[in-house]
C-alpha cells in the first residue's frame, strides 16, 4: 500500500530500527493501514488506539507492550495525523447537526412570531366584527326611526 500515511508509519519504523515481526506487530501495522486507507474490517474506521486495537484483534495492554506503540501513538498525536474518511465524515456530521439545531431554532422563532401575528390579527378581526355588528344594529334602529317618522309625517300631512 502506497498511502502517504502508511509510508510515514513504515518510514518511522525504519528510522527507529524496529522490525515488524509476524504476529502482534504485523497485525497492528496491517490494522493501521486498513484504517488509514478507509478499509477497516472490524471497526467504524476512526483512527484511535482503541479502534486500532480492535481492528488488530489485540488488547490495549498488548498494544502498549509492543515497541510499535510509541511510534504509532506519536503519529496519532501529530497535528497532521492521518485521518480516514470516517473521521472527516464524523466532523461533517457534527457540523451539519449544529447547523440543523440552528435552523430548527430559527424556524421555531419564526413560528412563534407568526403565531403572535395571527393572534393579533384575530383580535383585530374580532374587534372589527363586534364594531360592525354594533353599526348594523344602530343602522337598523335609525332605519326604523326614519320609517316611523315618514309614516307619522304622511299621516299628519296626508
pTM of the shown model = 0.44
- Judged against a pLDDT cut of 50, whether residue 2 lies above it is answered with yes
What's the pLDDT band for 33 if we cut at 50, 70, 90? confident
Write the pLDDT tens digit of every residue in 76-129. Answer: 776 665 555 666 777 888 999 999 999 999 999 999 999 999 999 999 999 999
**35 touches 55 (CB < 8 A):** yes
Q: Are 53 and 59 in contact (CB under 8 A)?
A: yes
pLDDT band of residue 1 (cuts 50, 70, 90) is: very low
Per-residue confidence (pLDDT) for residue 3, from 0 to 100: 57
Residue 71 has which C-alpha cell?
Answer: 511510534
Residue 55 burial class via C-beta count within 10 angstroms: exposed 0-12, middle 13-18, buried 19 and up: buried
Amino acid at each position: 500500500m502506497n498511502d502517504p500515511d502508511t509510508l510515514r508509519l513504515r518510514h518511522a519504523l525504519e528510522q527507529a530500527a524496529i522490525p515488524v515481526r509476524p504476529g502482534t506487530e504485523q497485525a497492528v501495522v496491517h490494522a493501521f493501514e486498513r484504517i488509514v486507507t478507509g478499509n477497516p474490517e472490524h471497526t467504524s474506521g476512526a483512527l484511535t488506539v482503541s479502534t486500532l486495537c480492535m481492528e488488530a484483534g489485540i488488547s490495549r495492554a498488548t498494544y502498549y507492550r509492543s515497541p510499535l506503540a510509541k511510534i504509532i501513538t506519536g503519529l496519532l498525536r501529530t497535528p497532521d495525523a492521518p485521518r480516514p474518511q470516517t473521521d472527516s465524515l464524523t466532523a461533517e456530521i457534527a457540523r451539519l447537526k449544529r447547523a440543523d439545531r440552528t435552523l430548527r431554532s430559527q424556524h421555531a422563532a419564526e413560528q412563534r412570531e407568526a403565531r403572535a401575528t395571527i393572534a393579533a390579527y384575530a383580535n383585530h378581526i374580532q374587534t372589527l366584527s363586534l364594531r360592525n355588528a354594533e353599526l348594523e344594529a344602530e343602522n337598523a334602529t335609525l332605519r326604523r326611526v326614519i320609517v316611523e317618522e315618514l309614516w307619522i309625517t304622511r299621516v299628519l300631512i296626508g
